[in-house]
A = this chain, B = another copy of it.
Amino acid sequence: MANMNMIQALNSALDVMLERDPNVLIFGEDVGYFGGVFRVTDKLQEKHGITRCFDAPISEGGIISTAIGMGAYGLRPVAEIQFADYILPAYDQLVSEAARLRYRSGGEFWAPITVRSPYGGGIFGGQTHSQSPEAIFAHITGIKTVIPSNPYDAKGLLISSIESDDPIVFLEPKRIYNGPFDGHHDRQIKSWANEPSADVPEGHYTVPLGKAATVREGHDVTVLAYGAMVHVAKAGIEESGIDAELLDLRSIVPLDIDAIVASVKKTGRCVILHEASRYGGFGGELSALVQERCFYHLKSPIGRVAGWDTPYPHAFEWDYFPGPARLAKALRQAMQN
């Protein structure tokens, strides 16, 4: 057991898997000698050799395409896309190829690839270093989308992802790499050091895909969140003074529908929180599912708190970011009705 921040936990997951499985290899822009712009692959090339962890051309489509070919051969490549905003040039490869290979080939070929990518805002990265693209993957049949919210889960989910025989988009909320940021950008920065979830086993372990975590039990309203928003939700719930139950979804495909339904049936209220802009975001799907399955238990409208329907704006980061105050307001609204 060691105390790890999220970067260290992810690095440890990769290290463990490189050690255990010769079919695991890592590539992506700047991941080799340099160890990645966020240091997630730090020292892995040095330790495991240049063919196990190496730099790729600036070509996201090429990276995913190459990874799929490797996966079809029998490897388990882990590809890094430097920022999730830059996954888009590889979208066709992910959707038309990775997601569909097993199905269309009648099971002859498949692509057990893991595509890691830092995503989300809160670092003054401007429009193209801040976006949250999970909705455009959640809609795609054949791809799983995993989003950890703390070091322990990050390592366990990443190992599960690498070991999975399905293609996985693994989105890392970059704002919480170094600490559990709760949306209060004007307060002292917290580190992971004192969080229980920063106690991470050094060896191999897994956190299963498709199982939500109940971060906080409560009676009055269910909050659904994932990634950095789990911490924002905690703060928002606290500030609202409302006894909310908080679920960390951990993966949005597969989704832990049973946990969601059980919680909303218990509380009778639901608020969904995500960073991505609202319209057409994954919150719509969650809202629809909850409504379909819990209609007769609902005491008030399901709320959605999300980024505004604008591109991610540099100077207005904190106006755009769905922080705790916005969640608290939605919780109060949910309780009023």
> Which A residues contact B (CB, under 8 angstroms)?
61, 85, 88-89, 91-92, 95-96, 99-100, 103-104, 127-128, 135-136, 138-142, 253, 276-277, 279-289, 291-292, 295, 298, 300-304, 309-311, 337
A304: chain B residues within 8 A (beta carbon): 288, 292
Given A100-B127, A279-B138, the answer on whether A302 and B292 have CB atoms closer than 8 Å is yes
User: Is B100 within 8 A of A311, CB to CB?
Assistant: yes
Contact status A89-B92, CB under 8 Å: yes
Residues of chain B within 8 A of A88, CB atoms compared = 91-92, 95-96
Since A280-B282, A284-B286, A284-B289 are in contact, a sample of 4 more A-B pairs with Cβ atoms closer than 8 Å, ordered by chain A residue number, is A99-B311, A100-B311, A138-B280, A141-B279
Let me know if B311 and A301 touch, CB within 8 A.
no
A303, B142: Cα distance in complex, Å:
24
Nearest B residue to A307, CB-CB: B141
Are A104 and B127 in contact (CB-based, < 8 A)?
A: yes
Residues of B with C-beta under 8 A to A298: 295
Residues of B close to A282: CB separation below 8 A: 280
Provide the residues of chain B in CB contact with A285, threshold 8 Å. Answer: 279-281, 284
Query: What CA separation (Å) do A140 and B131 show in the bound complex?
Result: 11
Cβ distance A70 to chain B, nearest Cβ, rounded Å: 21
Contacts of A128 in B (CB 8 A): 96
CB-CB under 8 A from A310, the residues of chain B are 103, 141
Total copies of this chain within the assembly: 2
What residues on B are CB-neighbors of A138 within 8 Å?
Answer: 279-280
What's the minimum C-beta distance from A147 to chain B, rounded to whole angstroms?
14
Chain A contact surface mostly: helix
**Taking A88-B92, A92-B88 as contacts, is the C-beta distance between A135 and B292 under 8 angstroms?**
no
What's the nearest-Cβ distance from chain B to residue A213, in Å? 21
Nearest Cβ in chain B — how far from A101, in angstroms? 10
**How many Å lie between the Cα of A302 and that of B128 in the bound state?**
36
> What separation, in Å, do the CA atoms of A298 and B310 have in the docked complex?
30
Give Cα distance in the complex from A292 to B302, angstroms. Answer: 7
* A141 engages B295 (CB within 8 Å): no
Please, how many angstroms separate the alpha-carbon atoms of A253 and B89 in the complex?
Answer: 23
Question: Can you list 8 A-B contacts (CB < 8 A)?
Answer: A89-B92, A99-B311, A100-B127, A135-B135, A139-B277, A288-B304, A292-B303, A292-B304
Q: Which residue from chain B places its CB closest to the CB of A281 in the assembled complex?
A: B139
Q: Tell me, in angstroms, the Cα distance from A88 to B295 when the chains sit together.
A: 36
Closest CB-CB distance, A312 to chain B, in whole Å? Answer: 9
Cα distance, A155 to B282, chains bound together (Å): 33
Our pick among B96, B99, B139, B301 for the contact of A280 (Cβ within 8 Å) is: B139
Q: A91-B92, A103-B311, A311-B142 are in contact. Are A287 and B291 (CB under 8 A)?
A: yes
